[in-house]
Amino acid sequence: MSLRIGDVAPDFEQDSTAGKIKFHEYLADGWGLLFSHPADFTPVCTTELGYTAKLQSEFAKRNVKVLALSVDSQASHDGWLPDIAETQGTAVNFPILADLDKKVATLYDMIHPAADDKTTVRSVFFVGPDKKIKASITYPASTGRNFDEILRVIDSLQLTAKHKVATPVNWKKGEDVIIVPALKDEAEIKQRFPEGYKAVKPYLRIVKDPSNN
């Protein structure tokens, strides 16, 4: 099953290090980040989960719940957690799904047989409050993810959802943004952006980041 932006994120129920997780219920009315790692007791994954734990306050500020996954057992996860805490200097403070039966990995097409037919690639799914997939990123097992970029994507998605703006190349939170082309009503534009905008081209209208107001 190949999931695309705009598809409803498949619901599931699976055991985890924090007990049984019902995905949609777990997300409630917030945002979600579901990401897979190839296997427990592996070096790149150890660094990723430790760094994610250190970012929990950043995810909480954005009303994002994090959920990790590998196709290992809950007992394996439980045995790995002390290693992460020891080597990364922080305890894992979010659930890790035990997906030994590959139920979730299959639902989200996380196993790419041409790369490895037994373990997941490094998939990332951004899920909105409407339970729809807003973005996804896939990395090979050998490449650790850039979680600063993941936060940047969340900021961009949330800004677009609230303010009808898009974010330009290399955008960072607080920098100028672009009015989405679909917004053409000048009365609504004035209401949304009372400070006005700079029209570089009719289709390229620059405004200050409205979340700064």
CATH number at 96 reads 3.40.30.10
Same domain, 109 and 201: no
Residue 182 within any structural domain of the chain = yes
Considering 21, 45, 98, 179, which one is annotated as catalytic? 45
CA 70 to chain CA centroid, Å, is 16
Domains in the chain, number: 2
Note the pTM of the prediction, 2 decimals.
0.93
Same domain, 60 and 122: yes
- Which of 145, 172, 204 is the last residue in one of the domains? 145
Same domain, 47 and 130: yes
Residue 7 within any structural domain of the chain = no
Between the alpha carbon of residue 33 and those of residues 109, 157, 184, the distances in Å are 16, 12, 32
Instruction: Write the CB contacts of 194 (distance below 8 Å, at least 6 apart in sequence).
Output: none
**45 catalytically annotated:** yes
Q: What is the pLDDT along the chain (213 residues), one digit of tens a residue?
A: 589 999 999 999 999 999 999 999 999 999 999 999 999 999 999 999 999 999 999 999 999 999 999 999 999 999 999 999 999 999 999 999 999 999 999 999 998 877 876 788 899 999 999 999 999 999 998 999 999 999 999 999 999 999 999 999 999 999 999 999 999 989 999 999 999 999 999 999 999 999 876
Between the alpha carbon of residue 113 and those of residues 42, 100, 117, 139, the distances in Å are 20, 17, 4, 14
CA distance 119 to 116: 6
In this structure, the number of other CB atoms found within 10 A of the CB of residue 98 comes to 23
Same domain, 84 and 185: no
Residue 24 within any structural domain of the chain = yes
Residue 135 within any structural domain of the chain = yes
Same domain, 19 and 88: yes
Residue 166 · residue 68 · CB < 8 Å: no
Same domain, 140 and 171: no
Same domain, 94 and 36: yes
Same domain, 37 and 120: yes
Q: Which residue range(s) make up the domain with 33?
A: 13-145
Residue 151 within any structural domain of the chain = no
Residue 138 · residue 122 · CB < 8 Å: yes
Residue 185 within any structural domain of the chain = yes
Same domain, 26 and 101: yes
